[in-house]
Amino acid sequence: MDLQNRAIIVTGGASGIGRATVSLLAKNGARVLIGDIDAIRGRQVADAARADGLAVDFLDLDLSQPASIAAFAEAIQARVARVDVLVNAAGWDQPAAFMDSPPELWDRLISVNLTGAIRLTRAVLPAMIAAQQGKIVNIASDAGRAGSAGETVYASAKGGLIAFTKSVAREMARYRINVNCVCPGPTDTPLFRSLSEKLQDALTRAIPFRRIATPDEIAEAVMFFAGPRSDYVTGQVLSVNGGLTMIG
C-alpha cells in the first residue's frame, strides 16, 4: 500500500470530503488522526474504521481557537513520533451577500478556513523539517481561484489558503517537504445540501459534466498529493470540478 505506516492528520474528517479522505488514506495503509469540532460524528467515523481493521483515531479540534489547535498538536505529538502528512481539509461556509454579512461571520470564516490551517501547519512543520521530509495537502476551493457571489469572505479565505500553499512550498522545498492544494468545485457534502434546491440546481447545470463531485473523487486527488507519486510536485493547485472553471 502506498501509505503503509504513515501518520496522517486529516482535519474536518468527521464528514464530507474529510471523511472520504480519512477512509481512502486508511485503506491505503495510513494511520489517520482525525481532528474535528464535531466530536460525536468524529468518534463515529473512527469507531467504524477501527471495526473494519483500519488505524483511525479521533481528537477534538476547534480551528477557530488557537488554544485548541495547540492542545491538538500536543496530543498528536504524544501519539506519534512525527506527522508524515497533514491534510488541512476542514472548511466552513455560510453563504450570504457581502453587504448583508456581519463582521462576526467574517472572523469565523477566516479563522476556520485560513488562519486555523496556518496555525496547525506551523505546529507540525518543525518535526517535518527535522526529518527532512513530509507532505502538506490543503483543501481550498475554486471559489478562491475564481471568486463566488454570496461567498466573498469565504472565497477570500480560500484564496489566501492557495497563496499560503505556494509560499510555504517555496520555503519548505529545501527540506524536501511537499506542499500542494486541491480545489474542489461543488461537491455532495452536508454544506452543499444545506443550500437551496434552486442554487443546487443552478450549480449543477453550470458544470460541463452536469453533475456535482462525490467526496470520494476529491479524496483521490488528496491521495495523489499525499502519496509517493507526487514526490516531485510542490506548490501546485489542482481543481477537481467537472470543468466548472478552467483556469490556467
Q: Which of 58, 154, 192, 225 is catalytic?
A: 154
| Spatial CA neighbour of 113 closest among 38, 180, 164, 75 | 164
**Could you identify the residue written with the cell 517535518?**
128
Catalytic residue status for 154: yes
| CB of 241 closer than 8 Å to CB of 184 | yes
Beta-carbon neighbour count of residue 23 at 10 Å?
22
- List, as one string, the DSSP characters of 29-90: T-EEEEEES-HHHHHHHHHHHHHTT--EEEEE--TT-HHHHHHHHHHHHHH-S--SEEEE--
Q: Which amino acid is at 64?
A: S
* C-alpha R_g of the chain: 17
Beta-carbon neighbour count of residue 30 at 10 Å?
27
Looking at the annotation, which residues are catalytic? 154
